[in-house]
Amino acid sequence: MKTAIIGCGAIANTHIDVIKHLGLNLVAICDLSEDKASALLGKHGVTATIYTDYEKMLDEAKPDVVHICTPHWEHAKMSIAALERNINVLCEKPVCISPEQYAAIKAAEKHSAAVMGVCFQNRYLETNEKLRALAAEEGAKGIFAAVPWSRDENYYLSTDWRGRKATEGGGVMMNQAIHTLDLALWMLGNPVAVTGTVTNNHLVGTIDEEDTAELYIEFESGAKANFYATTAAVSDTPVIISLTTKSDRYTAFGNKVFDRAGDTVVVNEKTDIIAKDYWGNGHLHLVRDFYDCLKSGRKFPIGVSEAYRAVSVILALYRSCGKRVELDLSKL
Ligand SMILES: NC(=O)c1ccc[n+]([C@@H]2O[C@H](COP(=O)([O-])OP(=O)(O)OC[C@H]3O[C@@H](n4cnc5c(N)ncnc54)[C@H](O)[C@@H]3O)[C@@H](O)[C@H]2O)c1
């Protein structure tokens, strides 16, 4: 199978590491900056044809799979361009940033022979798999989650798309905490209402979106989730996910899950790749699963609609302003 990448920035490094690790056939990469694309190949000691126009790359290189590693606002148009050419898509999160983009991807997907998946790699970590299993086995009452991370002015000013609602789609929730929100939805099921607030606590004048968010999510099952996320923390503190079931309480922190007594329930052992700690080292397992699904015809678990659930909750949060917003995700 021939593989290509669009976007040669930070996360593309992880995708190339994984592509090398899995022995996939990287035939082409694309970035607006030829120098950046060339530097990425050089850094990883691989060769591929370099393009600066992604549609030209799709037409000429004809990959079987394209990895989309570009800014949020471009995910939809690039995914659609690939789907229209029957090229399978593995897109970085978020799948898109508006209902209109979502509808356009779904329409393209409907007429395509190709498959699209989205990178929520933390679903593949043992700690999160264990929490989800415990939620199902013991009956989940709810989750408290916190994403206390640190992003300064330089982080936002280092690209032309972060920190801007038009291109990022939102702040800490749409970019960083979307992973943890996705996990909470994956563990607790169908959300029916969201109440919350967003604020810009430390980067007024630098970003036009939230650096901090708190939300309360009600689920069809009766479970609840409380969520706090910020990029105004003093350091990148590990994500906390605390699951209360009918029998116990389990807290994932860093690489481990602890029960109420403080005993370790599970440790992440999947250490063979390859990302910044706080991203979670699940890309290898997710990408492997995506390609296995393509080969076997099995359905990849994180498709467009599944990935859009977290975006829907975030967009509802942005509308909330402290008021309860009802959700109906049954028709996604
Ligand atoms: N899954 C994760 O844990 C994780 C971690 C980091 C980033 N990401 C996601 O990866 C994506 C990229 O993030 P990043 O931090 O690598 O961004 P980045 O700014 O470092 O890289 C983006 C690259 O895309 C290129 N680009 C932009 N428009 C293009 C176009 N039209 N054609 C070709 N190339 C184009 C830019 O030149 C840049 O090199 C985002 O969606 C982000 O949310 C995911």
Summarised one tens digit per residue, pLDDT across range 155-211 is 999 999 999 999 999 999 999 999 999 999 999 999 999 999 999 999 999 999 999
CA distance 188 to 180: 12
CA distance 123 to 73: 24
Mean of pLDDT values over 302-308: 98
Q: Is 11 in the pocket of ligand 1 (CB under 6 A)?
A: yes
Q: Is 66 in the pocket of ligand 1 (CB under 6 A)?
A: no
Residue-averaged pLDDT of the chain:
95
Query: In terms of DSSP bridges, do strands 49-51 and 25-30 run parallel, antiparallel, or are they unpaired?
Result: parallel
Q: Is 279 in the pocket of ligand 1 (CB under 6 A)?
A: yes
Cis bond upstream, residue 301 (ω within 30)? no
Q: Is 88 in the pocket of ligand 1 (CB under 6 A)?
A: no
Sorted by where each starts, the structural domains of the chain and their CATH numbers stand as 2-121 (3.40.50.720), 123-262+303-326 (3.30.360.10)
Backbone angles phi, psi at 58, to 5 degrees: -60, -40
Query: In terms of DSSP bridges, do strands 224-230 and 256-258 run parallel, antiparallel, or are they unpaired?
Result: unpaired
Using alpha carbons only, what angle is made at residue 167 by residues 49 and 190, rounded to the nearest 5 degrees? 100
Q: Is 139 in the pocket of ligand 1 (CB under 6 A)?
A: no
pLDDT of residue 255: 87
pLDDT at 6 over 70: yes
CA distance 96 to 74: 8
Q: Is 136 in the pocket of ligand 1 (CB under 6 A)?
A: no
Which atom of ligand 1 is found nearest the CA of 36? 39
Q: Is 175 in the pocket of ligand 1 (CB under 6 A)?
A: yes
* Terminal Cα-to-Cα distance of the chain (whole angstroms): 30
Which atom of ligand 1 is found nearest the CA of 161? 19
Q: Which of 37-46, 81-90, 260-269 has the lowest mean pLDDT?
A: 260-269
Residue the block writes with tokens 């209902």: 99
CA distance 267 to 213: 29
Q: Is 119 in the pocket of ligand 1 (CB under 6 A)?
A: yes
DSSP tag of 278: G
Q: Nearest C-alpha to atom 28 of ligand 1 is from which residue?
A: 70
DSSP string, 42-97: HHHT---EEES-HHHHHHHH--SEEEE-S-GGGHHHHHHHHHHTT-EEEEESPS-S
Q: Nearest C-alpha to atom 31 of ligand 1 is from which residue?
A: 32
CA distance 174 to 182: 11
pLDDT of residue 285: 92
Q: What type of residue sits at position 317?
A: L
CA distance 207 to 152: 11
Residue 27 tokens read as 């035939």
Tens of pLDDT, residue by residue over 101-137, are 999 999 999 999 999 999 999 999 999 999 999 999 9
CA dihedral defined by 205, 206, 210, 213, rounded to 10 degrees?
-100
Distance 70 CA to ligand 1 centre (A): 3
Cβ 168 vs Cβ 256: under 8 Å: no
